[in-house]
């Protein structure tokens, strides 16, 4: 399941907290947790997160479409269903844009 994969990667990152600690600067950061995740782990976690967002969007679009079909000519219910459909599609556009930005940034690390 996706949550087991996510918890496996999070546990791997937190177990190896000592790697890459830099104490050469003026501030001692040895007591702070150090993330040792590479771009592969980060990419996998983000893929899971954006996959869940896509699945939720599909669910909301389906529910909104069903509510629109079953509004039976009631203009108030039809308007609510249209608004929910628009909001879910706008949310999908925002999440796809966020995924593109994050993928670009992670790819350039």
What does the DSSP 8-state code read for residue 17? Answer: T
Residue 26 vs residues 21, 22, 29, 35: alpha-carbon distances, Å: 13, 10, 9, 20
**Tokens representing residue 14 in the block:** 């937190």
pTM of the model: 0.61
pLDDT band at 42 (very low <50, low <70, confident <90, very high): confident
Higher pLDDT, 47 or 4: 47
Provide the 3-class DSSP secondary structure of residue 107.
helix
What pLDDT is recorded for position 25? 58
Does residue 100 have a pLDDT over 70? Answer: yes
């Amino acid at each position: 399941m996706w949550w087991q994969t996510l918890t496996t990667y999070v546990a791997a990152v937190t177990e190896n907290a000592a790697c890459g600690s830099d104490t050469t600067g003026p501030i001692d950061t040895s007591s702070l947790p150090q993330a040792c995740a590479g771009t592969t782990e980060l990419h996998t976690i983000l893929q899971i997160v954006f996959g869940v967002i896509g699945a939720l969007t599909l669910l909301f679009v389906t529910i909104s479409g069903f509510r629109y079909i079953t509004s039976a000519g009631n203009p108030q219910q039809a308007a609510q269903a249209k608004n929910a459909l628009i909001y879910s599609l706008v949310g999908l556009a925002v999440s796809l844009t966020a995924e593109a930005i994050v993928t670009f940034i992670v790819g350039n690390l």
